Amino acid sequence: MHVVVCIKQVPNTTEVRINPETNTLVRQGVECVINPFDMYAIEEAIRLKEKHGGKVTVITMGPPQAETALREAVSLGCDEAILLSDRYFAGSDTWATSYVLSQGIKKIGNFDVVLCGKQASDGDTAQVGPGVSTFLDIPQVTYVKKIEEIKEKSARVERMMEEGFEIIETPLPCLLTVVKEINQPRLPSLKGKMRARSAEITKWNAENLNCDFDKIGLDGSPTRVVKIYTPPPRKGGVILKGELDEVVEKLTDELKNELG
């Protein structure tokens, strides 16, 4: 079995900076970590390998510093790591990111399952996983909380819903986005850390992936952030005291003042 895991490196801080010209995150010089939801995807991929055999390939799109996240994934038990990095990828929205990742997965070749975290902590869109499956033209199941069974040509999974769950059977290959209820991520072993330190990271750029340059980067992104602003601070609350009639009268006056 060959499992491919898509991960993302995200800022490990709330003090993020925005490029005023492009309205995109400034990632250079900011401490980053593997997106927390992707850690569950990595763990589930390793468990599938331990149960069914095969290998796990981890892939990410990002600047050169994203290599750190890939080495961490290798230390946890992933077998191969691929970095998709090119200045032409800068400013990609979720659609363009999905396209680049799908090109990388196509270049990898035969795979059975693609795993993603349900969403990234810096964007919270939950669009990249479904976008990758669309570009790959494979079935997808989102918000998976349990992989019940995987056979040679199909998988049966439990999908979390707001008021319960669904049992879904899907043909392979497929893409699954997972939630944190699916497992408890492991810590890297000393042996894993040593292996990750010397692991070879495969690096592909836009030319290697045979990308359509009209579909990548800021210019190839159909969605744009046109304005970013800090919302005004909330005013302190007002406590009204007294008898019921007095409170009603005070509340009426407050509402009149607010409405002008």
User: In 10 A of CB 52, how many CB atoms?
Assistant: 12
Please report the DSSP string for 155-192 in residue order. Answer: EEEEEEETTEEEEEEEESSEEEEE-GGG--PPPPPHHH
CA 25 to chain centre: 15
Q: What is the mean pLDDT of the chain?
A: 90
What is the reported pLDDT for 188? 94
Q: Where are the beta strands (DSSP E) in the chain?
A: 2-6, 9-11, 17-18, 25-26, 32-34, 55-61, 80-84, 113-117, 140-150, 154-161, 164-171, 174-178, 201-204
What is the pTM (predicted TM-score) of this model? 0.82
C-alpha pair distances (Å), 192 with each of 38, 52, 58, 174: 18, 20, 15, 28
Which domains, ranges and CATH numbers included, belong to the chain? 2-215 (3.40.50.620)
What is the reported pLDDT for 124? 78
Ranges of residues in the chain with a pLDDT under 50 are: none
Q: Are strands 25-26 and 17-18 parallel, antiparallel or unpaired?
A: antiparallel
What is the reported pLDDT for 7? 97
pLDDT digits (tens, 9 = 90+) for 116-146: 999 988 877 899 999 999 999 999 999 999 9
pLDDT digits (tens, 9 = 90+) for 194-232: 999 999 999 999 999 999 999 999 889 998 777 776 778
Q: Any residues with CB less than 8 A from the CB of 57 and at least 6 apart, and which?
A: 2, 3, 4, 5, 78, 79, 80, 81, 82, 108, 111
